[in-house]
């Protein structure tokens, strides 16, 4: 964007930053502070689904904002996968909370 001067795809850049960096950073903090959840196989699955979905969503958003055909369904699929993975993360948080708070006593 900087070299070409064409900033039409900046929404894709924003989605990539928020989902690809900020959200993964927050997941990492949570998993670091909750080692029992971090060791769960589903935590690894959750992170990898998030990464793949972020790539799909970012490509779709970039296609939409650069005027290419077919970007909307790609962005929608990526969004739905991100949403489903958010639910998976929520499930991991809820599932781990009682066992960790019980072991701290």
Residue 65: what pLDDT? 83
How many Å apart are CA 58 and CA 7, to the nearest integer?
15
User: Model confidence at 3, in pLDDT bands (50, 70, 90)?
Assistant: low
pLDDT value at position 17? 73
Domain ranges (residues) in the chain: 10-95
Identify the pLDDT of residue 7: 54
The pLDDT of 39-47, averaged and rounded, is 95
The answer to whether residue 89 scores a pLDDT higher than 50 is: yes
1-5, 17-21, 46-50: lowest mean pLDDT where? 1-5
Q: What is the reported pLDDT for 26?
A: 95
């Amino acid at each position: 964007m900087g070299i070409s001067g064409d900033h039409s795809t900046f929404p894709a850049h924003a989605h990539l930053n928020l989902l690809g960096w900020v959200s993964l950073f927050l997941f990492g903090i949570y998993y670091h502070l909750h080692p029992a959840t971090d060791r769960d196989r589903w935590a690894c699955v959750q992170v990898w689904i998030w990464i793949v979905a972020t790539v799909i969503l970012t490509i779709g958003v970039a296609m939409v904002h650069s005027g290419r055909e077919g970007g909307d369904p790609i962005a929608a699929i990526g969004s739905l996968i991100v949403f489903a993975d958010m639910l998976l993360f929520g499930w991991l948080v809820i599932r781990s909370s009682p066992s960790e708070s019980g072991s701290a006593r």
